[in-house]
Chains A and B, each alone.
Chain A
Amino acid sequence: AQKITQTQPGMFVQEKEAVTLDCTYDTSDQSYGLFWYKQPSSGEMIFLIYQGSYDEQNATEGRYSLNFQKARKSANLVISASQLGDSAMYFCAMRPTPGTASKLTFGTGTRLQVTL
């Protein structure tokens, strides 16, 4: 079974500053993928970034980067140059077994509020 832990219920960051959202995971699978999703108040889940367990380099997508530390089983999301539109819930998720459409397991989320 997979488990995702997000220990920060809420975070505040000033506009244009960087912020790190924490995520730790537990799994017995040798191969897996880690994901971050953004959920604005409108409710849709927006895919942000993906990291494979065998990827040696940290994933980056624009202002988003994933700080992957396999030995610590952590996959923190870093948002650089925060914008007001980044205010939302952020979910870390994982799925095992590459190459199959296996289910995503989500954490409880972190609510990010960007202030002026």
Chain B
Amino acid sequence: EAGVAQSPRYKIIEKRQSVAFWCNPISGHATLYWYQQILGQGPKLLIQFQNNGVVDDSQLPKDRFSAERLKGVDSTLKIQPAKLEDSAVYLCASSKDSFNYGYTFGSGTRLTVV
């Protein structure tokens, strides 16, 4: 079974620029999550999709962050304009809705805003 794919692996941008991250979940996984992990902290949920509908985006800074999941498969997370404090690892995860086994995470995208 292929894992959760994310790209790019690394990205360096200047503040006020825009950036987009892509995630392809495990086939058949209905639920997709984007997490932000700032250095030295645990991951924090940004947005949760169930198929192509948003379940929870309460911690997504909507003035600059947006996310979509077209056709209930791939997802894109965008930041526009980026701020220095957006420097973090952005992790995508998916799950089958099986409660017991947690999620499967991708390798993440490390974003540096300079």
Interface size of A by CB at 8 A reads 26
Instruction: Report the separation of the CA atoms of residues A35 and B104 in the bound assembly, to the nearest whole angstrom.
Output: 13
Once the chains bind, are B43 and A45 in contact (CB under 8 Å)?
A: yes
Interface size class of B (residues with CB under 8 A): 20 to 34
CB neighbours (8 Å) of B31 from chain A are: 101
Once the chains bind, are B99 and A104 in contact (CB under 8 Å)?
A: no
Once the chains bind, are B106 and A44 in contact (CB under 8 Å)?
A: yes
Once the chains bind, are B105 and A45 in contact (CB under 8 Å)?
A: yes
Once the chains bind, are A91 and B42 in contact (CB under 8 Å)?
A: yes
Residues of B within 8 A of A (CB): 30-31, 33, 40-45, 48, 50, 55-56, 89, 91, 93, 95, 97, 99-108, 110
Residues of A within 8 A of B (CB): 4, 33, 35, 37, 42-47, 50, 52, 91, 93, 95, 98-101, 103-109
